[in-house]
Structure 1
Amino acid sequence: MKKFLVSTAALFASLSLVACSSGQSAEQSPLDKIKEKGTLVVATSPDYAPFEFQTLVDGENKVVGSDIMLAQKIADELGVELEISSMNFDNVLNSVQNGKADLAIAGLSVSPERLEVFDFSEPYYQVGNVLLVQKADAEKIATVADLDQLDLAVQKGTTQETYARESLSNANIISLTLMGEAVNELKNGQVKAILLDSAVAEGYISQNPDLAIAALSFEAEEENAKAIAMPKDSGDLKTEIDKIIAEIVESGEYNTYLEEAATYTVVE
């Protein structure tokens, strides 16, 4: 009987420990999960210089850019290794939603629709929307009416795509997967303009003197606040990332990242 009672007590104690362990696992925070595995997986789309793009380092393609430096800063601050997961832009947020990536850092703009599904960090950079055109057309597109019936390229899954379909619907909106593809179609005359971030447009202009920013400007409210996406209810992970971003914004460190990114040659 004693042996039976001891065995029964041991069984209940064991089950209690398992239940307690399962409860702790279920309650483990997103930040603790990252620290436990020792790796921060960041989804990005490396076709959006100066934020993220490919360059040649010692003869091999490498993903670089200001966002990649930001990702490395966050990984270092969390005390984990950084793993960059490259994909098309329209898959970046899905990668976070299905748990394949911890964060998305890809020149992402915050929008009400995205906020319903994801948590976003505080903004780390602010840019505006512009139209990239052939230099000869820069002064010809000065009003929204000048876009009527023109072929306007946007990148799939971007806030520019959403804005173009809502506010520039008289243009022929053409959604393309890669920004490099859109620029090639612009240079070949297959589209007349590309709606994109000003910083990205300036990067393409620096390497393509036949391109320019159109005279048409957009209102300040169409500016894009760049931020990091993470799963909904990320709690302490968001708190820690917001703290890191506050530091780099106040110190101007992100501007240093942009300056360093400008020294690399983009590989399409």
Structure 2
Amino acid sequence: MNPKKHETKSPRGLAASTSFFQVIVGALAGLLLSLPATSEPLRVGTSGDYAPFSVLVVSDGQNHFTGLAPSLARAFARDQAMELEFVPFRWGHLEKDLQAGAFDVAMSGVTVRPERSLIGRFSLPITTSGAVLLVPNTSPYKEVEDLDHNNLAIAVNAGGHLEKVTRSRFMQAQIRSLEKNENVIRALANGEVNAAVTDTREAISWRHNYPGLRAIGPFTRDRKAFLVDASQPELARKLDAWLLRAQADGQFDAILKKELNEKLDTSPVTGPLAALLAAIDERLALMPWIAEVKRASHMTIEAPAIETRVLAAAIDSVRSAEKRNPLSEQHTEAEVKNFYRALIEAAKAVQRQTLMKPRRDLHLVLPDLDEELRPALERISDRIAMLLVALPQNISPEQIETGVQTELISTQLPEKEKKDLAQSLIALTSPHPDEPTSKTEWPPRP
């Protein structure tokens, strides 16, 4: 018999597919959200200094956190019947505070970065942004490159993602990292620096509060997500299930529109496909470190025994996710293996690219393979398995191919590996015919 094929969907078919997806998401969310509510409050770390994600408002001596992250935290806690406690943090202390147990989850417009993947569990993305430079309208500088000179000063908030990308992008300019975020824009307004780094989201409020500024960029594309304590997998699963459900029933869209004045587009970042590709991208972003550890330890990229264990663990993770979501499409072992083989080959391609160049940042200590990198990969794999199960059938091949091209942004993944990943996902999301069919294993074995 022929392998399963895609069919062109009529509007009625599209509605049926959407309805089925909502049933699946509802079942997944219902199973996870029906767990007994804890008597302990949900402790949410938030900065209070990063509009529109987290803003601290003091009224009558009381602290009140507003913005996208606190609004989502309140909606999640309300659905979970949980008490909520906000814990302020400074960006330079985020990772240490989370590891020390100061809070259960950081919700504050946290950018997905590899070093954060090592110490926590990222949720599905909640939105995207990009780093930009703000300069006075009268500034002679027009392009990002114009600011990278040793006689120019750039202000940026200390300790977070923006400082890291600023120091990486501007090697010649004088970088002034300031502890309080509000001091960054004040330094620019007072003429103490030539430019200030923020992102496309925060730049809107800064330009509103300080007229006469314009933006240069963006020069990055970043994802924002919640960062959960690594030791709390159930909380991470609950959050992801809730985000999927909130996206499907419109609750997330309403909060996003209120806080960011925008609606979800036709490929929402919290949707299963885009979220799955984001998780794949997060996994691939760890591969340069894996490669450097192998270089330092004189290990080879090819590791057949480890790959066999990874495939077996992947099958177990997907089957566990299917048990938590019994209404989902049950994928065959061949389909799941084909996808994970493509994922493994993509990881090895990034490692090979890394080893083709001399190591940079020789002064930096590499993460430990067994204590940091592999546990991080396992945490990401848990989310990948959940999202594979949540994928609706009948996603068009064009949507998958476009998504692979636009969402795998953290590495220079070769086109062959992108194509192979796309084809494996197309095979996973093709509609099953009424009668059993023989599966063609992908990619074909030599």
Q: TM-score, normalised by structure 2?
A: 0.47
Pairwise CA distance, 1:55: 2.8
Correspondence for 1:232 among 223, 226, 230: 230
1:33-72 CA-partner distances (Å, limit 9, x unpaired): 9943330111111111111112354685522111110111
Cα distance in structure 2, aligned partners of 1:115 and 1:258? 26
Higher relative contact order (CA 8 A, sep 6+): 1
1:142 deviates by 1.1
Matches within 5 A, 1:116-135: 116-135=118-137
Q: Tell me the equivalent position of 1:164.
A: 166
Structure 1: distance between partners of 2:199 and 2:244: 22
Size of the aligned set, in residue pairs, is 226
Report the AA paired with residue 144 of structure 1.
E
Q: Partner residue of 2:242?
A: 244
- State the Cα RMSD in Å: 2.5
| Residue number in structure 2 paired with 1:256 | 257
- State the match for 2:15 in structure 1: none
Contact 1:248/1:254 (8 A) holds in 2: no
- Paired residue for 1:151? 153
> More helix per residue: 1 or 2?
2
User: How much has 1:192 moved relative to structure 2?
Assistant: 1.4
Counterpart of 1:108?
Answer: 110
SS of the counterpart of 2:235? Answer: helix
SS in 2 for 1:190: coil
User: Unpaired segments of 5 or more residues in structure 2?
Assistant: 1-32, 262-446
Q: Contact 1:152–1:193 (CA<8 Å) still a contact in 2?
A: yes
CA distance in 1, matches of 2:112, 2:141: 31
Distance in 1 (CA, whole Å) between partners of 2:173 and 2:61 is 42
**Cα distance change of structure 1 residues 136 and 195 upon mapping to structure 2, 3 Å threshold:** same
Question: Does the 8 Å CA contact 2:38/2:82 hold for their aligned counterparts?
Answer: no
The CA distance in 1 between the partners of 2:46 and 2:62, in whole Å, is: 19
Tell me, yes or no, if the aligned pair for 1:54 and 1:62 is still in contact at 8 Å. Answer: yes
Residue 225 of structure 1 deviates from its aligned partner by 0.5
CA distance in 1, matches of 2:56, 2:84: 17
Give the CA deviation at 1:185.
Answer: 0.6
SS of corresponding position for 1:228: strand
| 2:177 maps to 1:175 | yes
Task: Return the offset for 1:249.
Answer: 3.9
With structure 1 as the length reference, what TM-score do the two structures score?
Answer: 0.76
* Counterpart AA for 2:192: Q
Give SS of 2:237's match.
helix
Secondary structure, counterpart of 2:223 in structure 1? strand
What corresponds to 1:208 in structure 2? 210
In 1, distance between residues paired with 2:36 and 2:160? Answer: 27
Task: Say which of 89, 92, 95 aligns to 1:90.
Answer: 92
CA–CA distance in 1 between the matches of 2:225 and 2:218?
A: 23
How far apart, CA to CA, are the structure 2 residues paired with 1:240 and 1:112? 23
Look up the SS of the partner of 2:109 in the other structure: coil
Provide the residue aligned with 2:390 in structure 1. Answer: none
CA drift of 1:201 comes to 0.7
Which has a greater percent of strand?
1
Which one-letter code corresponds to 1:173 in the other structure? Answer: I
Distance of 2:138 and 2:246 partners within structure 1: 39
Q: Distance in 2 between matches of 1:113 and 1:35?
A: 31
The 1:125/1:141 distance shift into structure 2, 3 A limit, reads same
Residue identity over aligned pairs, in percent, reads: 27
CA deviations over 1:3-31 (Å, ceiling 9, x no partner) = xxxxxxxxxxxxxxxxxxxxxxxxxxxx9
Alignment correspondent of 2:358: none
Q: Residues of 1 paired with 2:246 and 2:159: CA distance?
A: 28
Amino acid aligned to 2:71: M
**SS of 2:211 mapped into structure 1:** coil
